[in-house]
């Protein structure tokens, strides 16, 4: 299995992921009295924010959920 590290998060996805990641992080702080649940929310928030900022998500590559594909001509990535 090879990871291609292709750009797979568009601008519309970024507009959703950043606020959602912030809400998840705030929720993790709010439920800090339940450490397992808070850690789970913090991990989810980290994935949301990191994939929104970098526009790359390894989980999307592994699952095949990428909305971009490689063109044959120049080797550039374009939306499916």
Report helix, strand or coil for 17.
helix
Instruction: Give me the helix-helix angle, 35-54 and 11-30, nearest 10°.
Output: 160
For residues 2 and 42, the model is more confident at 42
Mean pLDDT of the chain: 73
Q: What does the pLDDT look like over 30-64, one tens digit per residue?
A: 998 999 999 999 998 988 887 777 666 666 556 66
Average pLDDT estimate for 24-29: 91
């Amino acid at each position: 299995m090879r990871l291609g590290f292709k750009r797979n998060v568009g601008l519309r996805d970024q507009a959703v992921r950043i606020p959602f990641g912030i809400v998840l992080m705030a929720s993790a702080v709010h439920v800090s009295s339940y450490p397992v649940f808070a850690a789970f929310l913090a991990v989810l928030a980290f994935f949301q924010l990191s994939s929104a900022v970098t526009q790359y998500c390894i989980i999307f590559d592994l699952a095949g959920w990428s909305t971009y594909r490689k063109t044959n001509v120049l080797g550039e990535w374009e939306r499916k």
